[in-house]
Structure 1
Amino acid sequence: MSKLLSAFIVSLLLPLAAMAADYSDGNGYTTIKNPVRTANPDKIEVTEIFWYGCPHCYSLEPITHAWAANAPSDVEFNFLPAVFGRGWLDHAKAFYVADLLGIESDIRDDLFNAIHVEKKRLNSEDALAEFFVAHGVNEDEFHKLYNSFAVNSRLSQADAKIRAYGARGVPGLVVNGKYLVTAQTANGNNNIYKVVDFLIEKERNQ
């Protein structure tokens, strides 16, 4: 067999080997001690725990967009805002305001860019109100939702879930309420969704 043909065969096999990576608990992901029930048992749920102010979440966004756009039909993807520090609460509330208005996916990129590219300090109710108004939201409606029971209730639910997941930072990907994947466990942002894909297949075969 010629060296050229051998090299060609190896080049074909390498992607297959990568797809078949042998991840395990502690190598690629960690198993959640007490699995958290998902909203839809007919779907494999993938949840990204994030914070708009997190530079690592911002750098993961293009990868997340590309993956979510091509997610399999049996997968349900969603976001979960975390509150791990001062200033995080305002961004989590902004997420739920946008979600309730049905515009989170429309303003998500602009909000990330405003914080990380334009360096705007969107860390208060008034600053976020100005951002939302610039995106067509009535100011009174923003303030009403921002301080509403609906938003505060979702914040409490999110906090309870994140605690149950055992997450300590962002970004983190939770697969079907059973497995937590981070940049640390996956050895970098570029590998996170490779591990997620592995775990999705693992869930299919349960």
Structure 2
Amino acid sequence: MAVEGQDYTRVNGSAPSDTGTGPVTVEAFFWYSDSHSFELQPVLDAWRSGQGERVALRWLPADFDRKPGSRQNFKPQQRLHFALEALGAVGFHERAFSAIHRGRTYLNTDGAILAWAAEQGLDPAAFAAAFASPEVDAGARRADALLQAYGIQGVPALVVDGRFLTGPGLVRETSPGFPGTLAVLDGLVAEVLSGRAAGAHPVGRRAGF
């Protein structure tokens, strides 16, 4: 049984959220260069495929770098993700992970990312335009705001319905396939749906799973 405060926590009530109706949203915060995010990505995508219409999975690239002039690669990789989304090239999400962790292609600068996109067969001009677009700016700002509001300190991190935070780190997951993390996700999704069916959010009581 999942334990609140150990396997998952409740998100601060001030966190922005567009949840409440429709599919239960699972927001997956990640970093392309993070090995645990790389390992979780196919597992989580497969889990989502088995959920039918009851769950919507949203991948959100994290940027923990707040130092002006820093040479960290969070922001370029964040823009990479949203540029792929803008072009409808979400299938390249897994390719980006693979390029870094299997191909040792370090996508840590704008130039390296633009070159990689061209090598993948994406139209260079279209990708460059998307990469620099206001749409990508807006996506990055929203991801940054959610990261701050949810108080996320590391990745991968999973937020369910804008209210529950979990992930391999909280679950202390070491098994291949992340069965413990998926079990907690299943329980949280069921808890949200149960609360909706009852006509009220279950905030303030222990989750019954």
- Using structure 1 for the length normalisation, give the TM-score: 0.84
2:125 to 134, 140, 143: 140
Cα deviation 1:33-59 (Å, max 9, x = unaligned): 215322572221111101111101011
1:65 to 45, 53, 60: 45
Range with greater deviation from structure 2 (36-45 or 161-170): 36-45
| Gap change, CA 1:120 and 1:170, over 3 Å in 2 | same
Letter matched to residue 56 of structure 2: E
Counterpart check, 1:195 vs 2:184: yes
Which residue matches 2:9? Answer: 30
- Percent identity of equivalent pairs: 26
Query: How do 1:8-87 and structure 2 match up within 5 A?
Result: 21=1, 23-34=2-13, 35-38=15-18, 41-85=21-65, 86-87=72-73
> What residue ranges of structure 2 are gaps of 5+ in the alignment?
66-71, 196-209
Counterpart check, 1:93 vs 2:79: yes
Cα deviation 1:156-203 (Å, max 9, x = unaligned): 111001111111110001100000002222121431111010001111
Cα deviation 1:19-40 (Å, max 9, x = unaligned): xx2x232121010021532257
Letter matched to residue 143 of structure 2: A
Whether contact under 8 Å (1:36, 1:178) holds in the other structure is no
Alpha-carbon distance in 1 for matches of 2:99, 2:53:
32
Q: Which has the higher helix share?
A: 1
> What residue ranges of structure 1 are gaps of 5+ in the alignment?
1-20
SS in 1 for 2:53: coil
Equivalent pairs counted in the alignment come to 184
Alpha-carbon distance in 1 for matches of 2:139, 2:119:
25
Give the number of the structure whose alpha-carbon radius of gyration is greater.
1
Runs of 4+, deviation exceeding 3 Å? none
RMSD (CA atoms): 1.5
Whether contact under 8 Å (1:51, 1:82) holds in the other structure is yes
Query: How do 1:122-141 and structure 2 match up within 5 A?
Result: 122-141=107-126
| Gap change, CA 1:40 and 1:154, over 3 Å in 2 | farther
Which residue matches 1:157? Answer: 142
How far off is 1:68 after superposition? 1.5
Letter matched to residue 130 of structure 1: A
Whether contact under 8 Å (1:93, 1:146) holds in the other structure is yes
- Using structure 2 for the length normalisation, give the TM-score: 0.83
